[in-house]
Structure 1
Amino acid sequence: MDVSQPSPRRPVAEDVYFSREELDQILSLYGYFVAAGEWKDYAIGGAPDRAVFSIFRRTSEAPMYRIEKRPKLRQKQGAYSVVAMGGQILKRGADLRAVLKVFDRQKLKLIS
């Protein structure tokens, strides 16, 4: 074995993250519900296959909702989804703004 040559490395997959525009949309919605006293905390994570924005009612609990971005599903079901606490997919699609409209019903409940 020739020691002078470096060993071949496996390519490292880049993690998926939300863009600035996507975060602006999500944080705008998050701010609305924080101001209404419904949501208290959030967490953002990136992985090789998805980006996740988790929403918590209390810090010590499991997330109430997860907003996920999975670029590999872009052509099939849409890259964005909103997932409830039990794993139920509430809405899925290619346009983040349209997917976030699933929370419009809750906004109406807060107003009345």
Structure 2
Amino acid sequence: MTVQNPPPFPNSSGAPTQVAFDRIELGRILGLYGRMVAAGEWRDYAMSFLRDRAVFSVFRRAAEHPLYRIEKIPALRQRQGQYAVIGMDGRVLKRGHELVPVLAVLERKLIRPID
């Protein structure tokens, strides 16, 4: 009888193969998304989980470029902050270490004067 060693795990280094939003982060993002949909501002979204970042993209219509991208980049955790809101033109609107203050830049879009 021959004894064979099992093949090693594909990612034995301990580093994750992709970055994702956890349940609390996703709950906060989807809560904001729901309020913006109810206000008629946003209509669709997409999520991408890549090797170095997780991206939540927001669309006014499905066939357009995203209005905003909410990104989580763990490599920037110790520097600028791992969360960022990026506009349609690629400008960083807000970056930080915590998600709630970063999302506040989008919350202001809900506040409008009443005529």
How many Å apart are 1:103 and its aligned residue?
Answer: 1.4
Amino acid in the other structure paired with 1:41: D
Amino acid in the other structure paired with 1:58: R
How many Å apart are 1:104 and its aligned residue?
Answer: 2.6
Secondary structure of the residue aligned to 1:26 is helix
Contiguous gaps of at least 5 residues in structure 1: none
More helix by share: 1
Partner of 2:22: 19
Amino acid in the other structure paired with 1:98: P
Alignment of 1:98 onto 2:68: no
Secondary structure of the residue aligned to 2:93 is strand
Alignment of 1:41 onto 2:40: no
Deviations along 1:50-98, whole A, 9 cap, x unmatched?
0000000000000000000000000000000000001000000000011
Partner of 2:85: 82
TM superposition outliers: structure 1 runs of 4+ over 6 Å: 4-10
Give the alignment partner of residue 64 of structure 1, picking from 64, 67, 76.
Answer: 67
**Cα distance in 1 for residues equivalent to 2:105 and 2:8:** 47
Secondary structure of the residue aligned to 2:86 is strand
**Cα distance in 2 for residues equivalent to 1:8 and 1:96:** 36
Count residues with an aligned counterpart.
108
* Matched-pair identity in %: 52
Contact persistence 2:39–2:110 (CA under 8 A): no
